[in-house]
């Protein structure tokens, strides 16, 4: 089948999609957007988190066909047109929140969404918002630091 949807603001189309393919598979293998990761493919780890019409979802659990005519935002869409990092991306780099980095894209999408509706989250809020994203390297402390840092920098800029 053919699936058409908007990815990071650009219309995209994938042909010959098998009905069982996930949105994650189509992004990674058919549209050349492997930033969203495939750590568990069972909706437990959050590494494939994208936003579907603005709402964070595990793209491994979304059938590609469900994305038809909808808006998908992935980690590849976070940076600016000129490649400048978004505040949450820069904060992850600066705070040492990236080790192997496999969980990072999903965490960035989830954290970006958190800061969008809650610009100054408490630690409890951050933990709750990111509780669907597993990280095996960092012990999460630097991830908390990164979200706090992004919130502080964004707050100062306002």
If one asks whether residue 143 binds another protein (CB under 8 A), the answer comes out as yes
Q: Which of 53, 54, 118, 136 binds another protein (CB under 8 A)?
A: 136
Half-sphere exposure of 126 (CA within 13 A, CB side): 22
In angstroms, what is the minimal distance from the CB of 38 to another protein?
A: 6
Verify binding: residue 61, another protein, rule CB under 8 A. Answer: no
> Does residue 137 touch another protein according to CB under 8 A?
yes
Which residues in 112-131 contact another protein (CB under 8 A)? Answer: 124, 126-128, 130-131
Residue 52 or 88 having the CB closest to another protein:
88
Single residue of 79, 148, 153, 154 touching another protein by CB under 8 A = 79
49 binds another protein (CB under 8 A): no
Q: Which two tokens stand for residue 72?
A: 């998908």
Stretch of residues binding another protein (CB under 8 A), selected from 63-71, 72-80, 112-120, 149-157: 72-80
Which CB, 69 or 124, lies closer to another protein? 124
Q: Which of 34, 148, 153, 154 binds another protein (CB under 8 A)?
A: 34
DSSP letters of the chain? --EEEEETTEEEEE-S--TT-BHHHIIIIISS-TTS--S-SSSSS-TTEEEETTEEEEGGGSBGGGGTT-EEE-GGGTS-TTSPPPHHHHHHHHHT--SS-SSHHHHHHHHHHHHHH-SS--HHHHHHHTTT---SSSTTHHHHHHHHHHHHHHHHH-
């Amino acid at each position: 089948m053919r699936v058409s949807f908007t990815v990071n603001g650009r219309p995209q189309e994938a042909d010959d999609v098998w009905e069982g393919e996930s949105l994650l598979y189509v992004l990674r293998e058919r549209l050349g957007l492997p930033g969203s990761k495939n750590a568990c493919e069972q909706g437990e780890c959050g590494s494939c988190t994208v936003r579907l019409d603005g709402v964070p979802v595990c793209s491994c659990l979304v059938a590609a066909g469900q994305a038809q005519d909808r808006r998908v935002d992935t980690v590849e869409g976070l940076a600016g047109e000129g490649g400048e990092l978004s505040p949450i991306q820069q904060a992850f780099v600066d705070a040492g929140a990236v080790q192997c980095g496999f969980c990072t894209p999903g965490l960035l999408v989830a954290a970006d969404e958190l800061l969008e509706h809650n610009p100054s989250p408490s630690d409890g809020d951050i933990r709750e918002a990111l509780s669907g994203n597993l990280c095996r390297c960092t012990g999460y402390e630097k991830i908390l630091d990164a979200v706090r840092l992004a919130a502080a920098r964004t707050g100062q800029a306002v």
